[in-house]
Amino acid sequence: MYTLNCRGRLLDLSRPKVMGILNVTPDSFYDGGAHQEMRELVAKAAKMLAEGATFLDVGGYSSRPGASEVSEAEEIDRVLPAITAILEEFPEACISVDTFRSKVARQAIEAGACMVNDISAGTLDDSMLFVMAELQVPYVMMHIKGTPQTMAQETDYEHLLTDIVYHLSERLATARAAGINDVIIDPGFGFAKTREQNFTLLNSLEVLQELEAPMLVGVSRKSMVYKTLGISAEAALNGTTALHSWALQKGAHILRVHDVAPAMECIQLFERLTSG
């Protein structure tokens, strides 16, 4: 059984949890620009919490393929007011900050966030692991090659699954050696992986259980759904739910989603299916 210590609140992951995505960016692939006004952001947070989200993941740097570079100062200016506004309305909310920069992570935690979601697993900021060890908050480490700007050209692997497991095992060992207690792994769907590689990874996701760490899966409305179905990201909820069901069967502990209520229903039905 895995647990996470979020500011003294022990969260049991024996039942899968949902992380709602709150992007405060103008250019995210699905909801870019949707939550620029604080009242809209807080309303969205309220809806996600009411629908059952355990975590709210606030991001100020779009990591979609080809996204523009964002300065550290601008990222801070985006995420800190969002975190403050949500916690003023919902003081008990568990907020994750989606960043690969240690300075952003530190200031977000000081503002009240309780988790860091790092797409680079500490590879894009040499200080990140030391800051995480100091702050002692749950830390999500994702698999990626290159950067958000270059990852689309970084899809060559000697052996996809073996390479991902090796990379995550190395990053896990480094994090634990640094003194980080609560580490979550994320296989990184869509990050330095082709659509075909994404499906290969999802179909063999159970191999990541060998790493003995809780697993976060983020496939919500991504191109592996909508391009495969020949639809838009806006129409990709049903396909997302189908992949969520498979991810749960393969061992996912946290689903990172745009749509909380359908993900919660998916978990409820999965639990009913497997309870016998």
Q: Catalytic site residues?
A: 222, 256
Rounded to an integer, what distance in angstroms lies between the CA atom of residue 206 and that of residue 184?
Answer: 15
Please report the beta strands in 47-175, taking only residues with DSSP state E, as ranges in sequence order.
55-59, 94-98, 115-118, 139-142
CA distances from 224 to 42, 171, 219, 229, 230 (A): 30, 26, 8, 9, 10
How far apart, in whole angstroms, are the C-alpha atoms of residue 140 and residue 95? 13
Distance from the first to the final alpha carbon of the chain: 19
- For the record, the structure tokens of 173 come out as 């060992």
Under 8 Å between Cβ of 65 and 222: no
Question: Please, which residues have CB within 8 angstroms of residue 129's CB and are 6 or more apart in sequence?
Answer: 122, 174, 175, 178, 180
Q: How far apart are CA 247 and CA 231, in angstroms?
A: 21
CA atoms within 13 A on the CB side of 103: 7
Tell me the residue length of the chain.
276
Single out the residue of 180, 181, 183, 174 nearest to residue 141, CA to CA: 183
Distance CA 45, CA 55 (A): 10
Separation of alpha carbons 167 and 173, rounded Å: 10
